[in-house]
Structure 1
Protein backbone atom coordinates (compact mmCIF):
# COMPACT_ATOMS: atom_id res chain seq x y z
CA UNK A 1 0.00 0.00 0.00
CA UNK A 2 1.16 3.49 -0.86
CA UNK A 3 -0.81 5.87 1.35
CA UNK A 4 0.70 9.18 2.55
CA UNK A 5 0.77 9.42 6.34
CA UNK A 6 0.16 13.21 6.42
CA UNK A 7 -1.40 15.47 3.75
CA UNK A 8 -2.69 19.05 3.67
CA UNK A 9 -6.34 20.05 3.50
CA UNK A 10 -7.47 20.53 -0.11
CA UNK A 11 -4.81 18.26 -1.60
CA UNK A 12 -5.24 15.67 -4.34
CA UNK A 13 -4.06 12.28 -3.06
CA UNK A 14 -3.07 9.17 -5.01
CA UNK A 15 -3.60 5.89 -3.17
CA UNK A 16 -1.92 2.80 -4.61
CA UNK A 17 -2.30 -0.90 -3.83
CA UNK A 18 0.44 -2.96 -5.48
CA UNK A 19 0.12 -6.75 -5.64
CA UNK A 20 1.46 -9.86 -7.35
CA UNK A 21 -1.00 -12.73 -7.89
CA UNK A 22 1.74 -15.03 -9.26
CA UNK A 23 -0.23 -15.97 -12.38
CA UNK A 24 -3.72 -15.99 -10.88
CA UNK A 25 -6.47 -13.61 -12.01
CA UNK A 26 -7.81 -10.70 -9.97
CA UNK A 27 -11.43 -10.98 -8.89
CA UNK A 28 -11.65 -7.65 -7.06
CA UNK A 29 -9.64 -4.91 -5.40
CA UNK A 30 -11.53 -2.92 -2.76
CA UNK A 31 -10.68 0.15 -0.68
CA UNK A 32 -12.07 0.87 2.77
CA UNK A 33 -11.81 3.80 5.19
CA UNK A 34 -12.68 2.40 8.56
CA UNK A 35 -15.85 0.31 8.15
CA UNK A 36 -16.89 2.13 4.94
CA UNK A 37 -16.10 0.71 1.52
CA UNK A 38 -15.62 3.55 -0.96
CA UNK A 39 -14.10 1.90 -4.05
CA UNK A 40 -14.17 -1.40 -5.92
CA UNK A 41 -12.30 -2.54 -9.02
CA UNK A 42 -13.48 -5.78 -10.64
CA UNK A 43 -11.80 -6.23 -14.05
CA UNK A 44 -14.16 -8.98 -15.24
CA UNK A 45 -17.36 -7.06 -14.43
CA UNK A 46 -19.42 -5.07 -16.93
CA UNK A 47 -18.75 -1.97 -14.83
CA UNK A 48 -15.23 -2.58 -13.51
CA UNK A 49 -15.06 0.56 -11.31
CA UNK A 50 -17.70 1.23 -8.64
CA UNK A 51 -17.51 4.20 -6.27
CA UNK A 52 -19.49 4.16 -3.02
CA UNK A 53 -20.47 7.22 -1.01
CA UNK A 54 -18.36 7.85 2.09
CA UNK A 55 -18.26 11.15 4.02
CA UNK A 56 -15.15 13.20 3.26
CA UNK A 57 -14.04 11.05 0.31
CA UNK A 58 -14.27 12.37 -3.26
CA UNK A 59 -13.04 9.76 -5.76
CA UNK A 60 -12.05 10.81 -9.28
CA UNK A 61 -13.58 7.85 -11.09
CA UNK A 62 -12.11 8.80 -14.46
CA UNK A 63 -8.55 8.86 -13.08
CA UNK A 64 -8.92 5.81 -10.83
CA UNK A 65 -8.53 2.29 -12.14
CA UNK A 66 -6.68 -0.86 -11.22
CA UNK A 67 -4.07 -0.31 -8.53
CA UNK A 68 -4.53 3.47 -8.14
CA UNK A 69 -7.33 5.52 -6.59
CA UNK A 70 -7.34 9.33 -6.83
CA UNK A 71 -8.99 11.44 -4.10
CA UNK A 72 -9.73 15.14 -4.65
CA UNK A 73 -10.03 18.02 -2.16
CA UNK A 74 -9.31 16.04 0.99
CA UNK A 75 -10.58 17.39 4.31
CA UNK A 76 -10.36 16.47 7.98
CA UNK A 77 -13.23 14.06 7.36
CA UNK A 78 -10.94 12.18 4.94
CA UNK A 79 -8.56 11.22 7.74
CA UNK A 80 -8.70 7.65 8.96
CA UNK A 81 -7.49 4.08 8.74
CA UNK A 82 -7.37 2.88 5.13
CA UNK A 83 -7.48 -0.74 4.00
CA UNK A 84 -6.81 -2.26 0.59
CA UNK A 85 -8.15 -5.76 0.06
CA UNK A 86 -7.17 -7.97 -2.91
CA UNK A 87 -9.20 -11.06 -3.82
CA UNK A 88 -8.05 -13.72 -6.29
CA UNK A 89 -10.49 -15.17 -8.82
CA UNK A 90 -11.77 -18.74 -9.00
CA UNK A 91 -10.76 -21.33 -7.92
CA UNK A 92 -8.73 -20.18 -4.89
CA UNK A 93 -10.46 -16.90 -3.93
CA UNK A 94 -7.51 -16.18 -1.67
CA UNK A 95 -7.68 -12.81 0.03
CA UNK A 96 -5.10 -10.46 1.50
CA UNK A 97 -5.24 -6.92 2.89
CA UNK A 98 -3.17 -4.19 4.52
CA UNK A 99 -3.93 -1.16 6.70
CA UNK A 100 -2.42 2.32 6.77
CA UNK A 101 -3.42 5.56 8.50
CA UNK A 102 -3.71 8.89 6.66
CA UNK A 103 -4.01 12.19 8.54
CA UNK A 104 -5.26 15.40 6.91
CA UNK A 105 -3.95 18.59 8.54
CA UNK A 106 -4.88 22.26 8.30
CA UNK A 107 -1.61 24.16 8.67
CA UNK A 108 -1.30 27.69 10.12
CA UNK A 109 -1.54 30.36 7.43
CA UNK A 110 1.10 32.63 8.94
CA UNK A 111 4.28 32.34 11.04
CA UNK A 112 4.04 32.28 14.84
CA UNK A 113 3.85 35.61 16.68
CA UNK A 114 6.66 36.24 19.19
CA UNK A 115 6.23 38.94 21.86
CA UNK A 116 8.44 40.13 24.73
CA UNK A 117 7.68 41.86 28.02
CA UNK A 118 10.25 44.56 27.12
CA UNK A 119 12.99 45.31 24.59
CA UNK A 120 16.26 46.04 26.45
CA UNK A 121 17.86 43.26 28.50
CA UNK A 122 20.84 42.71 30.79
CA UNK A 123 22.51 39.54 32.12
CA UNK A 124 20.81 38.30 35.29
CA UNK A 125 17.34 39.47 34.26
CA UNK A 126 14.46 37.04 33.84
CA UNK A 127 13.26 36.97 30.25
CA UNK A 128 9.53 36.54 29.69
CA UNK A 129 8.23 35.89 26.17
CA UNK A 130 5.17 34.45 24.44
CA UNK A 131 5.04 32.55 21.14
CA UNK A 132 1.59 32.04 19.62
CA UNK A 133 0.95 29.90 16.57
CA UNK A 134 -2.18 30.84 14.58
CA UNK A 135 -5.10 28.41 14.58
CA UNK A 136 -4.52 25.01 13.02
CA UNK A 137 -5.68 21.41 13.19
CA UNK A 138 -3.95 19.61 14.74
CA UNK A 139 -1.90 21.99 16.88
CA UNK A 140 1.79 22.40 15.93
CA UNK A 141 4.63 21.85 18.37
CA UNK A 142 6.37 24.98 19.69
CA UNK A 143 10.09 24.99 20.59
CA UNK A 144 12.35 27.80 21.81
CA UNK A 145 15.97 28.53 20.81
CA UNK A 146 18.50 31.12 21.90
CA UNK A 147 21.40 31.67 19.49
CA UNK A 148 20.21 28.49 17.69
CA UNK A 149 20.62 26.40 20.87
CA UNK A 150 17.42 24.68 21.98
CA UNK A 151 16.08 25.87 25.32
CA UNK A 152 15.02 23.01 27.67
CA UNK A 153 11.29 22.36 27.74
CA UNK A 154 11.02 23.01 31.50
CA UNK A 155 11.59 26.72 30.78
CA UNK A 156 8.23 27.00 28.99
CA UNK A 157 4.58 26.06 29.42
CA UNK A 158 1.90 25.50 26.79
CA UNK A 159 -1.35 27.44 26.96
CA UNK A 160 -3.97 26.04 24.51
CA UNK A 161 -6.67 28.45 23.41
CA UNK A 162 -10.13 27.84 22.01
CA UNK A 163 -10.77 28.42 18.28
CA UNK A 164 -13.06 31.12 16.93
CA UNK A 165 -15.86 28.67 16.20
CA UNK A 166 -16.73 25.02 16.14
CA UNK A 167 -14.51 23.15 13.70
CA UNK A 168 -12.35 26.23 13.04
CA UNK A 169 -9.31 24.89 14.86
CA UNK A 170 -7.16 26.01 17.75
CA UNK A 171 -4.27 28.31 18.49
CA UNK A 172 -1.48 27.54 20.94
CA UNK A 173 0.74 29.79 23.04
CA UNK A 174 4.06 28.84 24.62
CA UNK A 175 5.19 31.03 27.54
CA UNK A 176 8.94 31.15 28.11
CA UNK A 177 10.74 32.12 31.29
CA UNK A 178 14.56 32.19 31.14
CA UNK A 179 17.23 33.83 33.30
CA UNK A 180 19.64 35.52 30.89
CA UNK A 181 23.37 34.99 31.28
CA UNK A 182 26.26 37.03 29.99
CA UNK A 183 27.17 34.11 27.72
CA UNK A 184 23.84 34.52 25.89
CA UNK A 185 24.91 37.89 24.48
CA UNK A 186 27.51 36.55 22.09
CA UNK A 187 27.05 39.19 19.39
CA UNK A 188 28.68 42.21 21.07
CA UNK A 189 25.75 42.60 23.44
CA UNK A 190 23.00 40.99 21.36
CA UNK A 191 21.29 37.57 21.50
CA UNK A 192 18.80 35.97 19.13
CA UNK A 193 15.63 34.37 20.49
CA UNK A 194 13.65 32.09 18.17
CA UNK A 195 10.41 30.15 18.34
CA UNK A 196 9.76 27.23 15.96
CA UNK A 197 6.27 25.98 15.10
CA UNK A 198 6.38 22.52 13.50
CA UNK A 199 4.09 19.61 12.70
CA UNK A 200 5.68 16.44 11.33
CA UNK A 201 6.91 16.93 7.75
CA UNK A 202 4.09 19.25 6.69
CA UNK A 203 4.72 22.53 8.51
CA UNK A 204 7.78 24.40 9.80
CA UNK A 205 7.87 28.16 10.33
CA UNK A 206 9.77 30.37 12.76
CA UNK A 207 9.73 33.76 14.42
CA UNK A 208 12.80 35.38 15.91
CA UNK A 209 13.73 38.59 17.72
CA UNK A 210 17.01 40.15 18.86
CA UNK A 211 17.58 40.71 22.58
CA UNK A 212 19.56 43.94 22.96
CA UNK A 213 21.70 45.09 25.89
CA UNK A 214 22.12 48.80 26.75
CA UNK A 215 25.76 48.61 25.62
CA UNK A 216 25.05 47.15 22.19
CA UNK A 217 26.99 49.53 19.87
CA UNK A 218 26.64 48.16 16.36
CA UNK A 219 23.07 49.29 15.59
CA UNK A 220 22.55 51.98 12.96
CA UNK A 221 22.09 55.54 14.34
CA UNK A 222 18.55 55.71 12.95
CA UNK A 223 17.62 52.63 15.01
CA UNK A 224 19.08 54.14 18.19
CA UNK A 225 17.17 57.40 17.67
CA UNK A 226 13.85 56.38 16.19
CA UNK A 227 12.98 52.97 17.64
CA UNK A 228 11.93 49.68 16.12
CA UNK A 229 11.20 48.30 12.67
CA UNK A 230 9.46 45.06 11.67
CA UNK A 231 10.09 43.23 8.40
CA UNK A 232 9.28 39.86 6.86
CA UNK A 233 12.23 37.89 5.51
CA UNK A 234 11.74 34.43 3.94
CA UNK A 235 8.48 33.91 5.80
CA UNK A 236 9.97 34.74 9.23
CA UNK A 237 9.08 37.81 11.30
CA UNK A 238 12.20 39.69 12.44
CA UNK A 239 11.72 42.37 15.08
CA UNK A 240 14.55 44.89 15.50
CA UNK A 241 14.31 46.22 19.04
CA UNK A 242 14.28 49.94 19.77
CA UNK A 243 17.53 51.30 21.24
CA UNK A 244 18.10 54.34 23.44
CA UNK A 245 20.96 56.83 22.92
CA UNK A 246 24.08 55.97 24.87
CA UNK A 247 25.12 58.47 27.52
CA UNK A 248 28.88 58.95 27.49
Structure 2
Protein backbone atom coordinates (compact mmCIF):
# COMPACT_ATOMS: atom_id res chain seq x y z
CA UNK A 1 0.00 0.00 0.00
CA UNK A 2 1.36 3.37 -0.93
CA UNK A 3 2.17 5.67 1.93
CA UNK A 4 0.72 9.16 1.45
CA UNK A 5 2.94 12.18 1.53
CA UNK A 6 1.95 14.54 4.30
CA UNK A 7 3.06 17.82 5.84
CA UNK A 8 4.24 17.49 9.43
CA UNK A 9 6.15 19.36 12.12
CA UNK A 10 9.72 17.99 12.79
CA UNK A 11 11.39 17.63 16.14
CA UNK A 12 12.98 21.10 15.80
CA UNK A 13 9.60 22.73 15.38
CA UNK A 14 9.98 23.81 11.75
CA UNK A 15 6.95 23.55 9.48
CA UNK A 16 6.38 22.43 5.90
CA UNK A 17 8.79 19.47 5.82
CA UNK A 18 7.60 17.01 3.26
CA UNK A 19 8.48 13.43 4.01
CA UNK A 20 7.40 9.95 3.13
CA UNK A 21 7.26 7.72 6.14
CA UNK A 22 5.86 4.34 7.11
CA UNK A 23 4.34 6.16 10.07
CA UNK A 24 0.66 6.51 9.15
CA UNK A 25 -1.05 9.64 10.40
CA UNK A 26 -4.18 9.00 12.45
CA UNK A 27 -7.35 10.39 10.92
CA UNK A 28 -10.73 10.07 12.53
CA UNK A 29 -13.85 9.38 10.43
CA UNK A 30 -14.69 13.09 10.40
CA UNK A 31 -11.24 13.91 9.09
CA UNK A 32 -11.59 11.43 6.23
CA UNK A 33 -14.98 12.86 5.26
CA UNK A 34 -13.60 16.40 5.30
CA UNK A 35 -10.66 15.43 3.11
CA UNK A 36 -12.94 13.71 0.59
CA UNK A 37 -15.27 16.69 0.47
CA UNK A 38 -12.28 18.95 -0.14
CA UNK A 39 -10.76 16.77 -2.85
CA UNK A 40 -13.92 15.67 -4.73
CA UNK A 41 -15.76 18.28 -6.81
CA UNK A 42 -19.33 19.14 -5.82
CA UNK A 43 -21.77 17.01 -7.80
CA UNK A 44 -24.76 18.56 -9.51
CA UNK A 45 -27.88 16.92 -10.85
CA UNK A 46 -31.45 17.58 -11.79
CA UNK A 47 -34.09 17.01 -9.12
CA UNK A 48 -37.87 17.39 -8.74
CA UNK A 49 -38.78 19.97 -6.13
CA UNK A 50 -42.56 19.59 -6.20
CA UNK A 51 -45.11 17.33 -7.88
CA UNK A 52 -48.83 18.12 -7.76
CA UNK A 53 -51.50 15.58 -8.71
CA UNK A 54 -54.95 15.83 -7.07
CA UNK A 55 -55.72 12.70 -5.06
CA UNK A 56 -59.50 12.65 -5.70
CA UNK A 57 -61.32 14.33 -8.60
CA UNK A 58 -64.89 14.23 -9.86
CA UNK A 59 -66.04 12.90 -13.20
CA UNK A 60 -66.21 15.64 -15.84
CA UNK A 61 -63.86 18.03 -14.07
CA UNK A 62 -60.61 19.67 -15.23
CA UNK A 63 -57.37 19.09 -13.33
CA UNK A 64 -53.90 20.57 -13.38
CA UNK A 65 -50.78 18.44 -13.03
CA UNK A 66 -47.57 20.19 -11.99
CA UNK A 67 -43.96 19.02 -11.91
CA UNK A 68 -41.48 21.65 -10.74
CA UNK A 69 -37.78 20.87 -10.85
CA UNK A 70 -34.34 22.32 -10.19
CA UNK A 71 -31.71 21.94 -12.92
CA UNK A 72 -28.84 22.87 -10.54
CA UNK A 73 -26.85 24.42 -13.36
CA UNK A 74 -27.59 21.73 -15.94
CA UNK A 75 -29.78 21.84 -19.06
CA UNK A 76 -33.10 20.06 -19.42
CA UNK A 77 -33.27 17.38 -22.08
CA UNK A 78 -36.90 16.33 -21.53
CA UNK A 79 -39.81 16.26 -19.12
CA UNK A 80 -42.28 13.40 -19.55
CA UNK A 81 -45.60 12.43 -17.97
CA UNK A 82 -46.75 8.84 -17.58
CA UNK A 83 -49.98 7.22 -16.43
CA UNK A 84 -49.01 3.70 -15.41
CA UNK A 85 -46.75 2.31 -18.13
CA UNK A 86 -48.09 4.65 -20.83
CA UNK A 87 -46.45 7.97 -21.69
CA UNK A 88 -48.91 10.71 -22.66
CA UNK A 89 -46.88 13.95 -22.61
CA UNK A 90 -43.34 15.00 -23.46
CA UNK A 91 -41.66 18.39 -23.36
CA UNK A 92 -38.22 18.68 -25.01
CA UNK A 93 -37.03 22.30 -25.23
CA UNK A 94 -34.25 21.60 -27.75
CA UNK A 95 -36.44 19.61 -30.18
CA UNK A 96 -38.07 20.97 -33.30
CA UNK A 97 -41.43 20.00 -31.78
CA UNK A 98 -41.03 20.80 -28.10
CA UNK A 99 -44.40 19.31 -27.09
CA UNK A 100 -45.49 15.80 -28.08
CA UNK A 101 -48.80 14.28 -26.91
CA UNK A 102 -49.37 10.53 -27.05
CA UNK A 103 -52.78 8.86 -27.17
CA UNK A 104 -53.79 7.20 -23.91
CA UNK A 105 -57.27 6.05 -22.82
CA UNK A 106 -58.93 8.59 -20.54
CA UNK A 107 -56.24 11.23 -21.07
CA UNK A 108 -57.33 14.45 -22.81
CA UNK A 109 -54.58 17.09 -22.71
CA UNK A 110 -55.47 20.76 -23.06
CA UNK A 111 -52.60 21.80 -25.35
CA UNK A 112 -53.27 25.52 -25.08
CA UNK A 113 -53.04 25.55 -21.28
CA UNK A 114 -50.14 23.08 -20.90
CA UNK A 115 -46.53 24.22 -20.71
CA UNK A 116 -43.08 23.33 -19.40
CA UNK A 117 -44.03 22.48 -15.80
CA UNK A 118 -47.82 22.26 -16.02
CA UNK A 119 -50.13 19.86 -17.87
CA UNK A 120 -53.91 20.42 -17.90
CA UNK A 121 -56.33 17.52 -18.38
CA UNK A 122 -60.03 18.00 -19.06
CA UNK A 123 -63.09 15.75 -19.48
CA UNK A 124 -61.93 13.59 -16.59
CA UNK A 125 -63.43 10.08 -16.60
CA UNK A 126 -62.90 6.92 -14.58
CA UNK A 127 -60.36 5.84 -17.21
CA UNK A 128 -58.22 8.80 -16.08
CA UNK A 129 -57.57 7.17 -12.68
CA UNK A 130 -54.18 5.66 -12.00
CA UNK A 131 -50.57 6.25 -10.95
CA UNK A 132 -48.99 9.33 -12.49
CA UNK A 133 -45.25 9.73 -12.88
CA UNK A 134 -43.27 12.81 -13.80
CA UNK A 135 -39.73 12.18 -15.06
CA UNK A 136 -37.14 14.86 -15.78
CA UNK A 137 -33.98 14.09 -17.75
CA UNK A 138 -30.81 16.16 -17.78
CA UNK A 139 -29.09 16.94 -21.06
CA UNK A 140 -25.66 15.73 -22.27
CA UNK A 141 -23.23 14.68 -20.91
CA UNK A 142 -24.69 13.21 -17.69
CA UNK A 143 -28.30 12.42 -18.71
CA UNK A 144 -29.18 12.10 -15.06
CA UNK A 145 -32.86 11.79 -14.24
CA UNK A 146 -35.29 12.10 -11.37
CA UNK A 147 -38.93 11.04 -11.04
CA UNK A 148 -41.89 11.17 -8.64
CA UNK A 149 -45.17 9.21 -8.54
CA UNK A 150 -48.64 10.21 -7.32
CA UNK A 151 -52.06 8.50 -7.45
CA UNK A 152 -55.27 10.04 -8.81
CA UNK A 153 -58.72 8.58 -8.11
CA UNK A 154 -61.83 9.60 -10.05
CA UNK A 155 -65.24 9.35 -8.35
CA UNK A 156 -68.95 9.78 -9.02
CA UNK A 157 -70.76 11.64 -6.24
CA UNK A 158 -74.25 10.60 -5.11
CA UNK A 159 -76.93 12.78 -6.65
CA UNK A 160 -78.89 13.24 -3.42
CA UNK A 161 -78.79 12.77 0.34
CA UNK A 162 -79.14 9.30 1.89
CA UNK A 163 -82.61 7.94 2.57
CA UNK A 164 -83.21 7.39 6.28
CA UNK A 165 -86.18 5.41 7.64
CA UNK A 166 -87.21 4.10 11.06
CA UNK A 167 -89.97 1.71 12.08
CA UNK A 168 -91.92 4.28 14.12
CA UNK A 169 -91.76 7.85 15.41
CA UNK A 170 -92.32 7.56 19.18
CA UNK A 171 -89.78 5.74 21.33
CA UNK A 172 -89.22 5.11 25.02
CA UNK A 173 -85.93 4.57 26.86
CA UNK A 174 -85.11 0.86 26.92
CA UNK A 175 -86.59 0.14 23.48
CA UNK A 176 -84.47 -1.23 20.65
CA UNK A 177 -84.24 1.27 17.81
CA UNK A 178 -84.10 -0.10 14.28
CA UNK A 179 -83.27 2.20 11.39
CA UNK A 180 -82.07 1.98 7.80
CA UNK A 181 -79.90 4.41 5.85
CA UNK A 182 -79.52 3.96 2.10
CA UNK A 183 -77.09 6.02 0.07
CA UNK A 184 -77.84 6.78 -3.60
CA UNK A 185 -75.67 5.19 -6.26
CA UNK A 186 -72.06 6.35 -6.13
CA UNK A 187 -68.74 5.16 -7.52
CA UNK A 188 -66.99 4.06 -5.35
CA UNK A 189 -69.88 3.43 -2.90
CA UNK A 190 -70.37 5.88 -0.04
CA UNK A 191 -69.23 5.28 3.51
CA UNK A 192 -72.16 5.43 5.96
CA UNK A 193 -71.92 6.62 9.58
CA UNK A 194 -74.59 7.02 12.26
CA UNK A 195 -74.93 9.80 14.85
CA UNK A 196 -77.34 10.41 17.70
CA UNK A 197 -77.44 13.99 18.96
CA UNK A 198 -74.26 14.61 16.89
CA UNK A 199 -72.37 11.88 18.79
CA UNK A 200 -71.03 9.13 16.51
CA UNK A 201 -72.52 5.70 17.15
CA UNK A 202 -69.86 2.92 17.27
CA UNK A 203 -69.69 0.82 14.13
CA UNK A 204 -70.59 -2.44 15.87
CA UNK A 205 -74.19 -1.22 16.20
CA UNK A 206 -74.66 -1.27 12.41
CA UNK A 207 -73.98 -3.49 9.42
CA UNK A 208 -74.19 -3.26 5.65
CA UNK A 209 -77.22 -5.03 4.21
CA UNK A 210 -76.45 -7.65 1.57
CA UNK A 211 -78.23 -7.89 -1.75
CA UNK A 212 -81.87 -8.97 -1.56
CA UNK A 213 -82.51 -7.92 2.05
CA UNK A 214 -85.11 -5.30 2.79
CA UNK A 215 -85.69 -2.71 5.47
CA UNK A 216 -88.63 -2.42 7.81
CA UNK A 217 -91.05 -0.81 5.37
CA UNK A 218 -92.40 2.71 5.62
CA UNK A 219 -90.48 5.38 7.46
CA UNK A 220 -91.70 8.80 8.53
CA UNK A 221 -90.80 12.25 7.36
CA UNK A 222 -88.32 10.90 4.79
CA UNK A 223 -90.68 9.19 2.33
CA UNK A 224 -90.65 5.53 1.39
CA UNK A 225 -88.75 2.81 3.18
CA UNK A 226 -85.64 1.08 1.89
CA UNK A 227 -85.74 -0.92 -1.32
CA UNK A 228 -83.48 -3.77 -2.43
CA UNK A 229 -79.83 -2.84 -2.18
CA UNK A 230 -76.57 -4.17 -3.48
CA UNK A 231 -77.25 -3.35 -7.13
CA UNK A 232 -74.53 -1.91 -9.29
CA UNK A 233 -74.97 1.13 -11.48
CA UNK A 234 -73.16 2.32 -14.60
CA UNK A 235 -69.56 1.24 -14.72
CA UNK A 236 -69.97 -1.90 -12.64
CA UNK A 237 -68.14 -0.86 -9.48
CA UNK A 238 -70.68 1.68 -8.23
CA UNK A 239 -73.07 0.72 -5.48
CA UNK A 240 -76.07 1.86 -3.49
CA UNK A 241 -75.39 0.84 0.09
CA UNK A 242 -77.70 0.39 3.04
CA UNK A 243 -76.59 0.44 6.66
CA UNK A 244 -78.87 -1.18 9.25
CA UNK A 245 -78.73 0.27 12.76
CA UNK A 246 -79.78 -1.52 15.94
CA UNK A 247 -79.44 0.50 19.14
CA UNK A 248 -81.00 0.25 22.61
CA UNK A 249 -82.17 3.76 23.54
CA UNK A 250 -81.29 5.20 26.94
CA UNK A 251 -82.70 8.10 28.90
CA UNK A 252 -79.49 10.04 28.21
CA UNK A 253 -80.30 9.95 24.49
CA UNK A 254 -83.35 12.18 25.00
CA UNK A 255 -83.43 15.83 25.92
CA UNK A 256 -85.41 17.16 28.87
CA UNK A 257 -88.37 17.69 26.58
CA UNK A 258 -88.14 14.13 25.26
CA UNK A 259 -86.50 14.44 21.83
CA UNK A 260 -83.43 12.88 20.19
CA UNK A 261 -81.92 13.46 16.74
CA UNK A 262 -80.79 10.50 14.63
CA UNK A 263 -78.52 11.30 11.67
CA UNK A 264 -76.88 9.32 8.87
CA UNK A 265 -73.89 10.67 6.93
CA UNK A 266 -72.78 9.48 3.49
CA UNK A 267 -69.15 10.40 2.74
CA UNK A 268 -66.10 9.27 0.81
CA UNK A 269 -62.60 10.32 1.89
CA UNK A 270 -63.78 13.88 2.60
CA UNK A 271 -64.56 14.37 -1.09
CA UNK A 272 -68.25 14.97 -0.33
CA UNK A 273 -70.70 14.94 2.57
CA UNK A 274 -74.41 14.12 2.37
CA UNK A 275 -76.60 13.92 5.47
CA UNK A 276 -80.17 13.05 6.50
CA UNK A 277 -81.77 13.08 9.93
CA UNK A 278 -85.01 12.33 11.79
CA UNK A 279 -86.24 13.24 15.26
CA UNK A 280 -87.14 10.56 17.78
CA UNK A 281 -89.64 11.61 20.44
CA UNK A 282 -91.01 10.09 23.62
CA UNK A 283 -94.79 9.54 23.97
CA UNK A 284 -95.18 12.62 26.21
CA UNK A 285 -93.24 14.99 23.98
CA UNK A 286 -94.90 18.35 23.22
CA UNK A 287 -93.64 21.21 21.09
CA UNK A 288 -94.86 23.85 23.59
CA UNK A 289 -96.77 23.63 26.85
CA UNK A 290 -100.35 25.05 26.81
CA UNK A 291 -99.54 27.33 29.76
CA UNK A 292 -96.68 28.86 27.77
CA UNK A 293 -98.95 29.56 24.83
CA UNK A 294 -101.61 31.22 27.05
CA UNK A 295 -99.01 33.26 28.89
CA UNK A 296 -97.63 34.52 25.62
CA UNK A 297 -101.11 35.59 24.45
CA UNK A 298 -101.83 37.28 27.80
CA UNK A 299 -98.66 39.33 27.54
CA UNK A 300 -99.62 40.45 24.07
CA UNK A 301 -103.12 41.42 25.15
CA UNK A 302 -102.03 43.36 28.25
CA UNK A 303 -99.34 45.19 26.35
CA UNK A 304 -101.73 46.05 23.53
CA UNK A 305 -104.39 47.39 25.93
CA UNK A 306 -101.83 49.50 27.78
CA UNK A 307 -100.56 51.25 24.65
CA UNK A 308 -104.16 51.82 23.53
CA UNK A 309 -104.82 53.57 26.83
CA UNK A 310 -101.69 55.68 26.44
CA UNK A 311 -102.77 56.76 22.95
CA UNK A 312 -106.16 57.82 24.32
CA UNK A 313 -104.61 59.91 27.11
CA UNK A 314 -102.19 61.90 24.97
CA UNK A 315 -104.81 64.30 23.45
CA UNK A 316 -106.21 65.03 26.91
CA UNK A 317 -102.80 65.99 28.24
CA UNK A 318 -102.15 68.31 25.29
CA UNK A 319 -105.51 70.09 25.69
CA UNK A 320 -105.33 70.66 29.43
CA UNK A 321 -101.65 71.57 29.44
CA UNK A 322 -101.32 69.60 32.70
CA UNK A 323 -98.68 66.99 33.27
CA UNK A 324 -100.15 64.59 35.69
CA UNK A 325 -98.65 61.24 36.51
CA UNK A 326 -101.32 58.60 36.12
CA UNK A 327 -101.46 55.61 38.40
CA UNK A 328 -100.90 52.21 36.79
CA UNK A 329 -100.87 48.62 37.91
CA UNK A 330 -97.41 47.05 37.47
CA UNK A 331 -98.12 44.07 35.18
CA UNK A 332 -95.60 42.85 32.62
CA UNK A 333 -93.12 45.58 31.71
CA UNK A 334 -92.03 48.67 33.70
CA UNK A 335 -94.17 51.69 32.78
CA UNK A 336 -92.40 54.93 31.93
CA UNK A 337 -93.87 58.40 32.61
CA UNK A 338 -95.80 59.98 29.79
CA UNK A 339 -94.55 63.46 30.64
CA UNK A 340 -90.93 64.39 31.11
CA UNK A 341 -89.40 64.39 34.60
TM band (smaller chain):
0.7 to 0.9
Structure label with greater radius of gyration: 2
TM-score (norm 1): 0.86
Deviation at 1:219, TM superposition (A): 5.9
Q: Which runs of 4+ in 1 moved over 4 A?
A: none
Counterpart for residue 157 of structure 2? 107
Q: Distance in 2 between matches of 1:197 and 1:212?
A: 24
Distance verdict in 2 for CA 1:23–1:159, change over 3 Å: same
Deviation at 1:168, TM superposition (A): 7.2
Q: Identify unmatched segments of 5+ residues in structure 1.
A: 222-248
Asked if residue 188 in structure 1 is aligned to residue 219 in structure 2, the reply is no
> For 1:24-65, what per-residue CA distance to the aligned partner results, in whole angstroms no more than 9, with x for missing partners?
111100000000000000011111111101001100111111
Deviation at 1:187, TM superposition (A): 4.6
Distance verdict in 2 for CA 1:97–1:214, change over 3 Å: same
Counterpart for residue 96 of structure 2? 46
Q: 1:138 aligns with which of 163, 188, 198?
A: 188
> For 1:134-173, what per-residue CA distance to the aligned partner results, in whole angstroms no more than 9, with x for missing partners?
0101112111010111111110001251224553721111
Q: Distance in 2 between matches of 1:138 and 1:114?
A: 20
Q: 2:272 aligns with which of 178, 186, 203?
A: 203
- Give 1:201-240 correspondences, 5 Å limit: 201-218=270-287
Q: 1:155 aligns with which of 200, 205, 228?
A: 205
Counterpart for residue 115 of structure 2? 65
* 2:52 aligned counterpart, secondary structure: coil
Deviation at 1:198, TM superposition (A): 1.0
Contact kept in structure 1, 2:83 and 2:132, CA below 8 Å: yes
Distance verdict in 2 for CA 1:66–1:83, change over 3 Å: same
Asked if residue 129 in structure 1 is aligned to residue 129 in structure 2, the reply is no
RMSD: 1.5
Distance verdict in 2 for CA 1:166–1:45, change over 3 Å: closer
Q: Distance in 1 between matches of 2:265 and 2:120?
A: 34
Contact kept in structure 1, 2:198 and 2:263, CA below 8 Å: yes
* 2:174 aligned counterpart, secondary structure: coil
Aligned residues: 221
Asked if residue 56 in structure 1 is aligned to residue 106 in structure 2, the reply is yes
Contact kept in structure 1, 2:188 and 2:237, CA below 8 Å: no
Q: Distance in 2 between matches of 1:16 and 1:183?
A: 52
Q: 1:171 aligns with which of 240, 249, 264?
A: 240
Q: Identify unmatched segments of 5+ residues in structure 2.
A: 1-50, 211-229, 291-341
Asked if residue 17 in structure 1 is aligned to residue 73 in structure 2, the reply is no
Between structures 1 and 2, the one with greater helix share? 2
> For 1:216-240, what per-residue CA distance to the aligned partner results, in whole angstroms no more than 9, with x for missing partners?
011699xxxxxxxxxxxxxxxxxxx
Q: Distance in 1 between matches of 2:60 and 2:270?
A: 17
Distance verdict in 2 for CA 1:45–1:167, change over 3 Å: same
Higher relative contact order (CA 8 A, sep 6+): 1
